[in-house]
Chains A and B, each alone.
Chain A
Amino acid sequence: MTQTHAQASSAPVSASVPMLQLKVKVLRFDPEKDKKAHWSTYDVEAQPGDRVLDVINHIKWYLEPSLTFRRSCMHGICGSDAMLINGRNRLACKTLVRDVAKNGGTITVEPIRGLKVEKDLLVDMDPFFDSYKAIMPYFINESPAPAAERIQSEEHAERMAHSSNCILCACCTTSCPIFWVNGSYLGPAAIVQAHRFIFDSRDEATHQRLAIMNQNTGVWRCRTAYNCTEACPRDIPITQLIEEVKRAVMYAQS
């Protein structure tokens, strides 16, 4: 299906910016009427600095209103719009058109893999959040709290800089070949969350978390494929964090 083109920009148009003519191929699936997924192609015009999300929004608003996907913040902090763009997991709001297509080129958009597709680009996130909940993703310190803050050194605070940066977008977990093959694997995002608390000098439940990581759904399933690290839209060195958790589990056992 090819639709007439129109312009996708959310930003005001400046006459001097060259517009790109693009084809956008979207993998569509509506379980109410489709037996299997199929491609729809839309012709659009976009500025090089537009986000891929601007282009997809444009298709929804003016060309194909039934197209379904999640989105919210538009700048890479809410984690709603993880999708496969030109074969790679990315946030559509953090991916600029100029970085994935040239004039006359094609952008392909598909749902992230390993989670059930509910409609078009929208997948069932519940298994992902179930894995998150399985690692006790909350601070535990049952000692009486002081009147003011618990003192923590700058160095110890910095230990959480990478892991606390996670926005739970699922780009990492749904890029992991182990997760595709074995859905019971907790996956990189949940391990990053475990890291967040294991290495918090104020938390008192390290032992329990390491035990969860040591289970057969835990950290040992990781085969160090690095897909997670490449997929992370916030540049978290996920593979490194997973290795740190592996080492912590090993030391706890010895």
Chain B
Amino acid sequence: MHHRYDVLVVGAGGAGLMAALYAAKGNVSVACISKLYPTRSHTGAAQGGIGAALGNVQEDHWEWHMFDTVKGGDYLTDQDAAEVFAKDIIDAVYELEHMGLPFSRTPEGKIAQRKFGGHTRDFGKAAVERSCYAKDRTGHMILQTLYQQNVKAGTTFFNEFHVTDLLIEDGRCRGLVAYHLATGELHTFHAKAVILAAGGYGRIFKITSNALTLTGDLMSIYYRKGLPLEDMEFYQFHPTGLAKLGILVTEGIRGEGGILRNDSGERFMERYAPTIKDLAPRDIVSRSIITEIREGRGVGRDKDAVNIDLTHLPREVIEGKLAEITDLARTYLGMDPVKDLVPIQPTAHYAMGGIPTNLDGLCLSDGSGGTVEGLYAAGEQACVSLHGANRLGTNSLGDLVVFGRRAGIAAAKYARQAEYPEMTEGAERESQDLFERLRSGSGKENAALIRKELQESMMNNVGIFRNGKDMAAQVEVLKELKARYQNVTVSDPSRRYNSELIEAMELGFMLDCAEAMTASALNRTESRGAHDREDYTERDDTNWLKHTMAYKNLNNDNDVIIGYKPVALKGFTRAFEPKPRVY
């Protein structure tokens, strides 16, 4: 089946829904394609809040938020992106409120705000209350609100359509191909502009907060075209995932006063970040927890977790402002945060890197100014490089509304003046070939087993602490897994709702993302933000104050070509000189 829209949005999480809303306001025809039903996107799992310098509780300024973002990103953050972000997010939060989002309130009836990791006043002097929140289900409320507004706007949705290919020819995006789960048919979508907003790929790791659907599909498709993925080595581990399960426990838990403790009850963050302690940024807290565990001070049966302690907080705070995580602890661990210490461990959480874009979401084709005409990206999947080497808590929800909105506006503006490009001939061929291969393999290999080995090996070799030896070993593991993947066969021949076929396809995308990440990480011989190397322990601004651009070598399937892109070290009106990062 064939469809034609001025603007197509892939993904119906926060970034995709915001982009679709704004594209629709731009007087163009818009459709949104999602592999799930829209209200099931993973934005709904974000808990703690969305940071904006509203100053509702304490004095705050966008410059402080910009500084925290740049410093939090270990100076790899593009400062022009950080400046646009810190200003725009204030207006975007008010806009969400005007859309009806049920924020928690201050006694004066304003949007309530609380503390979060790495959010400070006066350029690092002390913690500040900047995170706007709706209890501890802020992402859930953003997702619902934006979907509601799209229902109001009459946006066309294609639900449970899995994108299998992007049509890019001669540097121009012409549309895409998608597989309709309900019928097993391939559909072609012809468009003037396409916005990619399909989220992250945390499922390449064994312990992760990410949904089963976060398999990096569109990043991989972009990469398979010979286009670059930026800063893939920077992958965030959230310090507090529920032990063993990896389910997210919001940083808001520490924002409200929760304390991390080791096996002897010591508040160990006092040793690692004396100024802001438990409210240090995520990379620092994650490393501190792993260090405690490695040095034998972990808790639990396997001594591989530490505790989060809320028992000193009033029951109303725990059951009111932190109701979601209270329910999670009770459901999955049988523990009650009101009286029990809850065991947590770092969990793979967020990709700082992804498809490179400029400030309007336009996709970059290289590190020196090349772009892909008509193709935009936003949200976790994109890398406008707001987060640099480490993302601050709450800046993911901020990123998706600010840059989802900018991408929607830019794509609509482009589509209004552009003609439809000529449609790619035989557009479905590559997708048909892919499915044909998956259905006719030798049958020697099981996709689930390969996926399990991928997740375990990435966790062990390219996790929180990294070194050249383990990562070189992982390069070999990935070559072997990719070779074995060629022998996977889908046994279910049915056309309707063939989820075995989809999962096998997703595994191929995950292997690509893992390959780009491992090559980028092995190449960067320094420690910065979330990329921490035991064999190169210092940050090296002389050689490495630059973005990595990883390209697939289209002539040799196992080879990754590394290029670079300069960091924007100045904003439009402010600039923060790189400094040692201490908290």
Chain A residues packing against B (C-beta within 8 Å): 10-12, 14, 16, 30-33, 49, 51, 60-62, 65-66, 68-69, 71-80, 94, 96, 118-119, 122, 125, 129, 133, 137-139, 141, 145, 147-154, 157, 160-161, 164-165, 167-168, 197, 200, 202-203, 234-235
Chain B residues packing against A (C-beta within 8 Å): 36-37, 39-42, 44-45, 54, 94, 97-100, 102-111, 134-135, 137, 140-141, 144-145, 148-149, 151-152, 182, 211-213, 244-245, 247-248, 301-302, 324, 327-328, 331-332, 446-448, 490-492, 494-500
Complex-state Cα separation, A78 to B109, whole angstroms: 30
Across the interface, do B245 and A11 meet the contact criterion of CB distance under 8 Å?
yes
Complex-state Cα separation, A203 to B98, whole angstroms: 10
Report the minimum CB–CB distance from B487 to chain A (whole Å). 15
Across the interface, do A65 and B490 meet the contact criterion of CB distance under 8 Å?
yes
Across the interface, do A78 and B332 meet the contact criterion of CB distance under 8 Å?
no
Report the minimum CB–CB distance from A149 to chain B (whole Å). 4
The CB with the most chain A CB atoms within 10 A, among B54, B99, B109, B492, is that of B109
Across the interface, do A139 and B37 meet the contact criterion of CB distance under 8 Å?
no
User: Which of A31, A65, A122, A139 is the one whose CB lies under 8 Å from B492?
Assistant: A65
Complex-state Cα separation, A66 to B499, whole angstroms: 7
Across the interface, do A154 and B107 meet the contact criterion of CB distance under 8 Å?
yes
Report the minimum CB–CB distance from B452 to chain A (whole Å). 8
Complex-state Cα separation, A165 to B492, whole angstroms: 38
Known: A137-B148, A154-B109, A202-B100. A167 touches B492 (CB 8 A): no
Across the interface, do A62 and B448 meet the contact criterion of CB distance under 8 Å?
yes
User: Which residues from B are CB-within-8-Å of A74?
Assistant: 211-212, 247
User: Which residues from A are CB-within-8-Å of B448?
Assistant: 61-62
User: Which residues from B are CB-within-8-Å of A62?
Assistant: 446, 448
Q: Which applies to chain A's interface (DSSP): helix, strand, loop or mixed?
A: loop
Across the interface, do A167 and B496 meet the contact criterion of CB distance under 8 Å?
no
Report the minimum CB–CB distance from A18 to chain B (whole Å). 13
Across the interface, do A71 and B110 meet the contact criterion of CB distance under 8 Å?
no
Across the interface, do A152 and B109 meet the contact criterion of CB distance under 8 Å?
yes
User: Which residues from B are CB-within-8-Å of A129?
Assistant: 37
Report the minimum CB–CB distance from B337 to chain A (whole Å). 16
User: Which residues from A are CB-within-8-Å of B497?
Assistant: 68, 118-119, 122
Across the interface, do A75 and B328 meet the contact criterion of CB distance under 8 Å?
yes
Residue pairs across A and B with Cβ atoms less than 8 A apart, 7 shown, are A12-B302, A72-B212, A79-B39, A138-B149, A149-B110, A164-B144, A168-B39
Known: A139-B100, A202-B100. A32 touches B496 (CB 8 A): yes
Across the interface, do A11 and B244 meet the contact criterion of CB distance under 8 Å?
yes
Report the minimum CB–CB distance from A221 to chain B (whole Å). 23
Complex-state Cα separation, A30 to B499, whole angstroms: 13
Complex-state Cα separation, A71 to B160, whole angstroms: 12
Q: What residue of chain A has the Cβ atom nearest to residue B97's Cβ?
A: A149
User: Which residues from B are CB-within-8-Å of A65?
Assistant: 490-492, 500
User: Which of A30, A75, A150, A164 is the one whose CB lies under 8 Å from B45?
Assistant: A75
User: Which residues from B are CB-within-8-Å of A72?
Assistant: 36, 40, 42, 211-213
Complex-state Cα separation, A138 to B21, whole angstroms: 13
Q: What residue of chain B has the Cβ atom nearest to residue A160's Cβ?
A: B102
Q: What residue of chain B has the Cβ atom nearest to residue A80's Cβ?
A: B40
